[in-house]
Amino acid sequence: MAAQGEPQVQFKLVLVGDGGTGKTTFVKRHLTGEFEKKYVATLGVEVHPLVFHTNRGPIKFNVWDTAGQEKFGGLRDGYYIQGKSCGGQFCASQGSCAIIMFDVTSRVTYKNVPNWHR
């Protein structure tokens, strides 16, 4: 049983989308409250814990910030597969979800959304 204030519900959240669509900025904004204007491509994947406090208690998302560049595409399938399994220590309370991101100013990134859906 989790201590009071500790998240009892955890989710794996995989952020996917073309490079430059704001996946890392989304994570950093929630972690620090700051907005990073400079683009630095993510290499592989970075996992960050984000806790949201709700009227039903805290919810923890283990956010997988994935690389959007095509050269990292071979790694991506593993993130999806792991997202469907329950191999972690928080198996009983861990679910999986994903957010497909695109840049509203780039029609190409919007047209690529179906490529990210599995």
Name the pLDDT band for 5 (thresholds 50, 70, 90): low
Q: Which two tokens stand for residue 79?
A: 């993130």
pLDDT for position 104: 96
- Most confident among 24-28, 90-94, 97-101, 106-110 (mean pLDDT): 106-110
What are the pLDDT digits (tens) for 98-107?
Answer: 899 999 999 9
74 falls within a domain: yes
Q: Please state the pTM of the whole predicted model.
A: 0.73
Domain that holds residue 73: 14-116
Residue 81 predicted with pLDDT over 70: no
- Decide: 76 and 66 in contact? Cβ < 8 Å: yes
4 falls within a domain: no
Q: What is the CATH number of the domain that holds 103?
A: 3.40.50.300
